[in-house]
């Protein structure tokens, strides 16, 4: 358990609490007390896999208990947060630490959190964070969605941006040194992310340290959600600044530029769902270093982004709530011709559009006998019956399953048949990845 707090910040009293460290023994969680202890679904859980149902229901019960107890103990927690800088600061920190450990570890021990108290103000905030573990993000969001309305309290599934005037102090508190002098330039990447060049005369020869300093400043300036979804490539560039350095002013300028480019990017996305569009002619996009060789598609930029790998979010290419997904059809020896797959996809595209559920935006083949059909789904509930019926009528292999491109949905899957087996390539739970490193 780590507790870090200080009065270095003139604006905020911030207590940063970590519910576990990477050294914590977590293998006992595989027996079911932590949801991510198994590579399992959240949004698409169904009764065909009882362990998933049990784990999800158990996690929801823990979340309900968390908020019931938070509401009951709000006076104690509020007083502890308000008095972190008093003579009894350590005792108040212990109150918060012990309460969170008791209640949050049962939900998922990877989730971290920050209490934020603005000095001289009544407003308080509790930010949760999945700390980059995509398979836990849906639990974080569900946790916050169930928060009760409590006067003067706000809750978030991401760490929020700091006030610009607090960034220098927070950087020093966490890094043990003053922040680097910096200026930034923000641009939209081909992958619909925001690439950022940090210029500083203080960059050294350690490239990893330079990038880490930039990432910290970005996180404090624009918040974890922006960093998680929209931040692309960070490039440290050694050089003189154009103007006089002021950390608060430069952080504010960066946040404004980031938000401006994000709005520009969002404005460039299609105004209508993909299924209401004529997507045009197709072309082949080759995938490098992947089992799937290529995608034939009318949406080249989207296909290139998916083929490049990396963390993908639906909102990079849709502002209409669409989910980008694919039907993986094994043992499809009769379809090992792109012309046959395209004819099949055209038929399925018509069915999806008729149901106003979505459309097909790509097809592909994986040697020796796997076929892919890619979708932009506007309504998952409408799409699933169409896909199941189509799979049955065309006698697809019973291991056919709908999978999802969004990094937070990579472990979600929907069976096309009652006896479809669980996919074998789900992302391993975060603690097993750590144990094997």
- Its pTM stands at 0.89
- How much of the chain exceeds pLDDT 70, in percent? 88
Whose CA is closest to 388, among 418, 360, 410, 412? 418
Assigned domain for 420 exists: no
How does 255-284 read in b/e, with b if 16+ C-beta sit within 10 Å?
Answer: bebbeebbeebeeeebeebbbeeebeebee
Query: Could you give the CA distance from residue 23 to residue 164 in angstroms, rounded to a whole number?
Result: 33
- Residue that terminates a domain, selected from 122, 156, 190: 156
Whose CA is closest to 127, among 98, 99, 155, 168? 155
Q: Residues 396, 318: one domain?
A: yes
Residues 241-288: tens digit of each pLDDT: 999 999 999 999 999 999 999 999 999 999 999 999 999 999 999 987
Query: Could you give the CA distance from residue 140 to residue 157 in angstroms, rounded to a whole number?
Result: 5
Assigned domain for 30 exists: yes
Note whether 424 and 346 are within 8 A (CB). Answer: no
How does 340-366 read in b/e, with b if 16+ C-beta sit within 10 Å?
Answer: ebbebbeebbebbbeeebbbbbbbbbb
Q: Residues 140, 6: one domain?
A: yes
Assigned domain for 144 exists: yes
Q: Residues 287, 378: one domain?
A: yes
Contact partners, residue 205, CB within 8 Å, separation at least 6: none
Q: Residues 141, 124: one domain?
A: yes
Assigned domain for 151 exists: yes
Q: Residues 104, 44: one domain?
A: yes
- Residue that terminates a domain, selected from 268, 299, 319: 268
- How much of the chain exceeds pLDDT 90, in percent? 70
Q: Residues 192, 332: one domain?
A: no
pLDDT recorded at residue 174: 86
Mean pLDDT across 413-417? 97
**Angle (CA) 87 90 94, round 5°:** 140
Peptide bond between residue 368 and the one before it cis (omega within 30 degrees of 0): yes
Query: Could you give the CA distance from residue 26 to residue 8 in angstroms, rounded to a whole number?
Result: 34
Q: Residues 364, 287: one domain?
A: yes
Query: Could you give the CA distance from residue 405 to residue 375 in angstroms, rounded to a whole number?
Result: 10
pLDDT recorded at residue 31: 40
Residue 90 CB-density burial (10 A; 0-12 exposed, 13-18 middle, 19+ buried): exposed
* Other beta carbons within 10 Å of 122: 11
Query: Could you give the CA distance from residue 76 to residue 102 in angstroms, rounded to a whole number?
Result: 15
Q: Which residue, chain included where needed, has tokens 């530029």? A: 257
Assigned domain for 50 exists: yes
Q: Is the predicted pLDDT of residue 357 greater than 90, yes or no?
A: yes
DSSP 432: H
Domain with residue 342: its CATH number is 3.30.70.260
Q: Residues 293, 175: one domain?
A: no
Assigned domain for 424 exists: no
Give me the domain span that covers residue 372. 274-405
Least confident of 17-21, 88-92, 171-175, 379-383: 17-21
Residues 110-157: tens digit of each pLDDT: 899 999 886 656 789 999 999 888 988 999 999 999 999 999 999 999
Q: Residues 303, 347: one domain?
A: yes
Residues 14-70: tens digit of each pLDDT: 444 444 443 333 333 334 445 454 567 899 998 888 888 888 999 999 999 999 999
Q: How many domains does the chain have?
A: 3
- Residue that terminates a domain, selected from 156, 180, 211: 156
Q: Residues 178, 244: one domain?
A: yes
Q: Residues 134, 169: one domain?
A: no
Assigned domain for 178 exists: yes
Q: Is the predicted pLDDT of residue 434 greater than 70, yes or no?
A: no
Q: State residue 69 phi and psi, 5-degree precision.
A: -75, -35
In three-state form (DSSP H/G/I as H, E/B as E, the rest C), the secondary structure along 213-229 is HHHHHHHHHHCHHHHHH
Q: Residues 401, 280: one domain?
A: yes
Assigned domain for 213 exists: yes
Average pLDDT of every residue of the chain: 88
Query: Could you give the CA distance from residue 83 to residue 64 in angstroms, rounded to a whole number?
Result: 28
Domain with residue 264: its CATH number is 3.30.365
């Amino acid at each position: 358990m780590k507790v870090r707090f200080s009065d270095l910040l003139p604006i905020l009293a911030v207590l940063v609490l970590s519910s576990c460290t990477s050294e914590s023994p977590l293998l006992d969680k595989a027996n079911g007390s932590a949801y991510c202890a198994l590579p399992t679904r959240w949004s698409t859980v169904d009764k065909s896999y009882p362990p998933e149902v049990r784990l999800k229901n158990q996690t929801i019960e823990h979340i309900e208990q968390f908020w019931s107890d938070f509401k009951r103990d709000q006076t104690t927690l509020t007083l502890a947060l308000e008095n972190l800088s008093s003579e009894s600061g350590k005792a108040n920190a212990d109150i918060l630490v012990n309460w969170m450990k008791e209640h949050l570890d049962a939900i998922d021990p990877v989730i971290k959190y920050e209490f934020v108290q603005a000095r001289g103000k009544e407003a308080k905030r509790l930010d949760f964070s999945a700390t980059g573990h995509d398979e836990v993000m849906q639990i974080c969001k569900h946790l916050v969605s169930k928060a009760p309305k409590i006067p003067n309290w706000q809750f978030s599934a991401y760490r929020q941006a700091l006030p610009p005037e607090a960034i220098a102090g927070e950087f020093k508190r966490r890094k043990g040194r003053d922040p680097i002098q910096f200026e930034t330039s923000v641009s939209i990447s081909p992958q619909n992310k925001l690439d950022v060049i940090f210029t500083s005369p203080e960059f050294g020869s350690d490239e990893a340290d330079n990038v880490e300093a930039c990432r910290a400043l970005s996180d404090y300036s624009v918040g974890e959600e922006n960093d998680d979804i929209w931040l692309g490539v960070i490039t440290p560039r050694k050089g003189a600044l154009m103007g006089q350095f002021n950390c608060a002013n430069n952080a504010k300028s960066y946040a404004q530029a980031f938000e401006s480019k994000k709005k520009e990017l969002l404005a460039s996305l299609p105004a209508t769902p993909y299924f209401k569009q004529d997507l045009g002619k197709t072309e082949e996009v080759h995938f490098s270093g992947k089992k799937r060789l290529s995608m034939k598609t009318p949406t080249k930029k989207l296909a290139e982004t998916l083929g490049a790998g990396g963390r993908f979010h639906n909102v990079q290419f849709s502002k209409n709530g669409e989910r980008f997904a694919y039907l993986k059809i094994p043992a499809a020896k009769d379809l090992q011709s792109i012309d046959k797959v395209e004819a099949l996809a055209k038929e399925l595209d018509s069915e999806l559009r008729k149901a106003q559920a979505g459309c097909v935006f790509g097809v592909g083949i994986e040697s020796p006998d796997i076929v892919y059909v890619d979708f932009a789904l506007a309504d998952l509930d409408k799409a699933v019956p169409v896909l199941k019926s189509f799979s049955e009528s065309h006698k697809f292999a019973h291991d056919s399953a709908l999978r999802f491109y969004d990094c937070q949905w990579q472990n979600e899957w929907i069976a096309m048949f009652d006896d479809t087996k669980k996919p074998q390539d789900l992302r391993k739970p975060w603690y097993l990845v750590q144990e094997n490193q």
